[in-house]
Structure 1
Amino acid sequence: MIALSIGSGLVIGALVGLLGGGGSILAVPALVYLAGQDLQQAVATSLLVVGVTSVVAVLPRLRERQINWRIGLLFGAAGAATAFTGAAVNRVLPDELTLALFAVLMVVAGVRMLQEKPATGTACAIDGGRVNWRRCLPRTLAGGLVVGFLTGLLGVGGGFLIIPVLVLALGLPMPTAIGTSLVIVSLNSAAGFAAHAGEMTLDVPVTVAFTAAAVVSALAAGRLGATLDTNWLRRWFAWLVLVVAGVIAVQVTVDLLT
């Protein structure tokens, strides 16, 4: 089980470091189906692992100045406010329904990433490729509120949802969107974990192994991702998300029938 946790952590850390998120959407299924955790425990562990990994993955991008701090902090603060509501809803939903919602979200995210175009939006952009954060404040807060709720509900940092919002709605260049997403995921994950804290006991060996592997992988991937064209990797990841969604859907169907 420790070996599986390390292997999963390496994959999740690489995705977070390269894409500014996305690892959390695989972390919960990995913890449930590979590490044998129940859903509540997997959600809390996922939030801790992805939050720590995102903080580490920010470091290589600080040097490249690939972070829009105003948008990141505003988006993250809005998400922190609704993460507690999502966690409260999570506690009253049956596990099968939560996993089914998770699979639906994965399908939507996977299809969205396959359709994503490399061009950035211009709705909030001003001269010089910068972003008018005041003009985009309503979109920033709305996106944060939605992603924060999903963070608390499903145990995902939301990077796979944050990136399209930052690029297509706010007009951030892809490298800046990835760095900014890491800041937002860190804040969302911290709020989501706080919302779930006290509800369950973490599996310390699995959590430590998973987190350590993810951190090492995120550092290595972050250095590479600061200069790498991630469009091809995003498409590959989209197909992986769709496959995992199918596996979850089959497993939930089997559980309901048995």
Structure 2
Amino acid sequence: MKKIHPISTDELLSSLDHRNNTQIKYYSFFEEKINSIADHAISTYFWILLNRSEWKIEMVSENIEQFTPTKKDDWIQSFENHFYMELYHPEDREYLNAAFQFAEKTRLSLPDSKRGTLKFNFYGRMRDRNNEYRLVMIKSIGQYINDKNEIEASLVVIYDISHFKIPNLPLFSVIDDSKETQYYKYIEREIKNIEIDVPKISKREKQILELICSGYNTPQIALKLSISYYTVENHKQNLRKKTNTKTSSELVAFVMIHNLI
């Protein structure tokens, strides 16, 4: 595949250009997605609404001070001061910039009917409220694309995944509606595709995975799905076999990297 070279935050911002403003209320546009985040949360998280027409962070979730060293009101500011990107580890920053740029170009190169089929996950280290770096997953869950083929606004969820043991962590992954996933990892200052076989899971297994990732234990899952304790345990055992994992923590980590839910 074509090499993707790391870029500075200035290079990323200059490549994005300023967007037209259609005067849409972005929070209203994303409100349904924002309200549903908790239903599909795989770990503790916060969200950010990026206003690309005014080049600023327009809104953040109420809990953001629990996960970052910055006050909630201080988040509402311009991209151009590099505030957001400087929260990431210096060794990860330029690679994440390149991954963000790649994702945007890839999405906008698709016809309208295909844009919603792609999902991107990015991985890196971000400062917590104590100014210590911990591993996070950055998930792009929504974009507002105007009639000039420009992304005016983006909704991003950032999950804390520091407590999961994740071997061979990719830089980012891309999944489409056919469930074919590509993984990209930077090696020697290049980003390379990683070929990984992802197991197929049933609808019931997916339901159980979602509940496991949301922190439910076996009795709670059985009650939630109106099935027996032993049925849940059998599904969990089958999932561990399919994913070659031994513990629930390893299973959740596998799920996150491979976009199984």
Name the structure with the higher strand share: 2
TM-score (norm 1): 0.25
Q: Could you say which structure has the larger radius of gyration? A: 2
Name the structure with the higher helix share: 1
TM-score (norm 2): 0.25
**Structure ranking higher on relative contact order (CA contacts 8 Å, 6+ apart):** 1
